[in-house]
Structure 1
C-alpha cells in the first residue's frame, strides 16, 4: 500500500510575505531642483516698451501741469482783469496855452487797462472839465504796432502806426502806474503835441486785429498820417476841422490833434 502524503505548507512563508508587505520601500531618485522657465527675449522687450511708455506719459503730465500752474497762477495775475491791471489815474500838468489865474495847471483823468499777456493797453478818457479836448477810448496794440482813437464826441475811429517813442509798453506802463499809486514816483507835468491828418477810410477792420476791430466796429474808421514837424504848427482857430484828444501813456501828457482837411 502506497501512502501518499502532502508536505504541509510552512506557516512561515505567509509571515515573510506579510513582512515584505510591511516593509517601506524607499526608491532614491536623483535630486531634482525646481527650475523656473526663463523669460523670453520678446517678453523683456515688451516690458521695456511698457516702462518707456509709462515714463513718457508721466513726463507729459508733469510738463502740462507745469504749464497750467505757470499760466493760471503766474501770468493770470497780469492777463486777466482784476484790480492790479485796472487804474484810475489823475495827472496834473502845465498847459502853456492857459494863462492866469489858472497859471496853466490842468488835471487829466483817465482809466487805464493793461493786458500784459495780449500786449496791449486800453485807455478811456472822459470829458474833461476844462474842455478843449474830446472824450475818447484809445488802444495801443503793441502786437500789431497800431494805435486806434475812438472820438466819442464825433463817433469816429482813427488808426495810425504806434509811436513807441511816446507810448510805454504795457509792462513798463504797469510798473510806472504801480509806483505812482504807491507814491514812490510822481510823473513829470508837461504836455507835448503831435499833429495828424486823415488820409483815407479803412474798409476792412479785421486787418487791424481783434482789439481795434472790437473798438471801431460799426463806426466810420479812418487812417491817419503824422504831420511833418517842419511845417508850421496848427492854429485851431484857423483849422476848424481839427480836434484834439489828450491822454497819457508815459510820464507826460500827449495832445493828439487830428485834422480832417488841411
Structure 2
C-alpha cells in the first residue's frame, strides 16, 4: 500500500512568497540621504516665498517713490504752469521818474505777474525796458519764507533779502489790484519810490531758501543783501557800481538799486 501525505497550504504559499521575494532586488538608502531628499522641497518653497516677499517689498518702495515724485512734480511744476488766467497778469503803467522826469517826462513800465495764492508767493518778470536805465529781472516774493529774490538777467546773478512787507503787497491784495487795473476801474499812482540795497556776502546753499527761490537762483551766483540806511535821493551817475530794477508790486513803481558794498555810493 502506498502512503499518501498532504502538505499544508501555508507552506506552499510561503515557498511561493519566498521565491517571489528572491526575485526582488533590495536597495538600501542611507537615512541621511533620505532626510535630505525629503527636506529639499521644503527649502525650495521657503526660498520661493522669501523671494516673493522681497520682490513685493521692493515694488511697494518703488511705487511709493514714484507716487511722491509725481506729487512733487505736479505740485511745483505742472500746477504752476497751469495757473488760472485770473492769476496771470500783463501790466503796463505810466509813471514819472524822479531823476529823469525833466528830460524824459512820463515813462512806461511793463511786467508780467504770476500770483499763487495756494503757495503764497508772487513772481514778477520785468523785460528790458525801452527807455534803458534799468535791468531786466525776475523777482520772487515768497511770503511763506519771508524772503525776496532778485535775478538780474543782465548780470546773471541772484540777490536775496528779507521780504519788505511795507512795500510789497500780499498775493491776494496784489491780485485784486491788478484785476482792477485789467478791468480799467483803477490805475496805480504814477510815481516812483527808490530803495537802496547793498551786497553783504555770498549765499552758497540756495536750497535752504525754499523751492521757489531755489528754482530761480539754483546754479547761479547768489548774494545776500541788506537795506542801506541812507534816505537821500540816489543819483545813478554817482553810483557806477549799482544796478537798478524797476518793478510794480504796489500802487506805485519801485526802483530797487543794488550796489556793491565796497564801491557803492557813500552813506
- In structure 2, distance between residues paired with 1:162 and 1:252: 17
Q: Which runs of 4+ in 1 moved over 3 A?
A: 77-80, 99-102, 232-235
Aligned to 1:201: 202
Aligned to 1:82: 84
Aligned to 2:223: 222
* Distance change in 2, residues 1:233/1:94 (3 Å): closer
- In structure 2, distance between residues paired with 1:168 and 1:233: 23
> Secondary structure of the residue that 2:237 maps to in structure 1?
coil
Aligned to 1:143: 144
Aligned to 2:259: 259
Aligned to 2:76: none
- In structure 1, distance between residues paired with 2:108 and 2:210: 32
Check whether the contact 1:245–1:255 (CA below 8 A) recurs between aligned residues: yes
Which residues in structure 2 correspond to 1:138-177 (within 5 Å)?
Answer: 138-177=139-178
Aligned to 1:245: 245
Structure 2 gap segments, 5+ residues each: 1-78
- In structure 2, distance between residues paired with 1:122 and 1:225: 21
> Secondary structure of the residue that 1:118 maps to in structure 2?
coil
Shift of 1:183: 1.3
- What TM-score comes out, normalization by structure 1 length? 0.67
Check whether the contact 2:207–2:218 (CA below 8 A) recurs between aligned residues: no
> Is 1:93 paired with 2:95?
yes
Check whether the contact 2:133–2:244 (CA below 8 A) recurs between aligned residues: yes
Check whether the contact 2:126–2:136 (CA below 8 A) recurs between aligned residues: yes
Aligned to 1:124: 125
> Secondary structure of the residue that 2:193 maps to in structure 1?
strand
Check whether the contact 2:111–2:126 (CA below 8 A) recurs between aligned residues: yes
Deviates more, 1:136-145 or 1:177-186: 177-186
Check whether the contact 2:99–2:235 (CA below 8 A) recurs between aligned residues: no
Q: Report the structure number with the largest CA radius of gyration.
A: 1
> Secondary structure of the residue that 1:110 maps to in structure 2?
strand
- In structure 2, distance between residues paired with 1:107 and 1:233: 21
Report the number of matched residues.
Answer: 184
- What TM-score comes out, normalization by structure 2 length? 0.66
Check whether the contact 2:201–2:223 (CA below 8 A) recurs between aligned residues: yes
Structure 1 gap segments, 5+ residues each: 1-76
Which residues in structure 2 correspond to 1:179-198 (within 5 Å)?
Answer: 179-198=180-199
When the two chains are superposed, the root-mean-square deviation of aligned CA atoms in Å is: 1.8
- In structure 2, distance between residues paired with 1:100 and 1:254: 19
Deviations 1:81-140 (A, max 9, x none): 1211110000111112224563x2001000000000000000000000000000000000
